[in-house]
Amino acid sequence: MIDLHYWTTPNGHKITMFLEETGLKYKIFPVNIGKGEQFKTEFLAISPNNRIPALVDREPKGGGAPVAVFESGAMLVYLAEKSGKFLPSSGASRYDVMQWLFWQMGGLGPMSGQTNHFKNYAQEKLQYAVDRYVNEVNRLYGVMNKRLADREFLAGEYSIADMASYPWVVPHERQGQNINDFPHLKRWLDTIAARPATKKAYEIAKEVNPNQGGIRTEEERRILFGQTAQSVAAAAQGAR
């Protein structure tokens, strides 16, 4: 049984998509990041970066003490190795998956996150910042589109690299992108959207958090934006 510490955001969806694909047994522990639950001592013990998602595997492969993992990319590798699915165990095809997974973790995820911040959440509109991140996401969509021109998925077969990238392409409109400019990416998006496991993962998100739709209140903005080492330490004291 896997404990999944989760909230209903793109990085959270990656893991429910994987778990639903494989049928591994798991239990969701919601961490409402808009309420500051990511600063709780118990959560920080497994996710020291105060970010979701994180997991605790109570029955690790080969036995032994429970294993805790944070960072969605590391979690996907961990779960793929546990289940023997969606990541080849050796050879060039393994590194094909790895390179696209790391590409998502270092590029598509952070750049899309910044686009969302400056375009949709920042109260002060900084055109330079909006353009910089919208353009960078546009470039990254172009990279995926080219890659997908002659193969079905990013690393050939459906893999953890696709599961990592998909939730960050779903909100293409909010990222200021026209998906029709990227026909191969659109085909990939539609193919993954139609998978029963993807549908289930997004249904679960609605059940856990019926009030989807981003950060709305002043309180949520205060909790999520402008965090510093000191503010996190203070929040952790308060959230004990």
Which residues of this protein are in contact with ligand GSH, per CB under 6 A? Answer: 9-11, 33, 38, 50-53, 71-72, 109, 224
Q: Which is nearer to ligand GSH, 88 or 167 (CB)?
A: 167
Largest pairwise CA distance in the chain? 53
- CA pair distance 238, 157, nearest whole angstrom: 46
CB of 10 to ligand GSH, least distance (A): 6
CB of 61 to ligand GSH, least distance (A): 22
How many CA atoms does the CB half-sphere of 138 hold within 13 Å?
11
- Phi and psi at 29, nearest 5°, equal -115, 100
Please state, in angstroms and as integers, the Cα–Cα distance from residue 77 to each residue in 19, 50, 52, 160, following that order: 12, 20, 16, 8
- CA pair distance 108, 144, nearest whole angstrom: 10
CB of 72 to ligand GSH, least distance (A): 4
CB of 230 to ligand GSH, least distance (A): 15
The number of beta carbons lying within 10 Å of the beta carbon of residue 166 is 23
Task: Locate 208 and state its tokens.
Answer: 């856990």
Q: Which is nearer to ligand GSH, 81 or 152 (CB)?
A: 81
Task: Locate 192 and state its tokens.
Answer: 């993954």
**Residue in the structure block whose two tokens are 């510093």:** 228
Chain Cα centroid distance, residue 42 = 21
CB of 77 to ligand GSH, least distance (A): 12
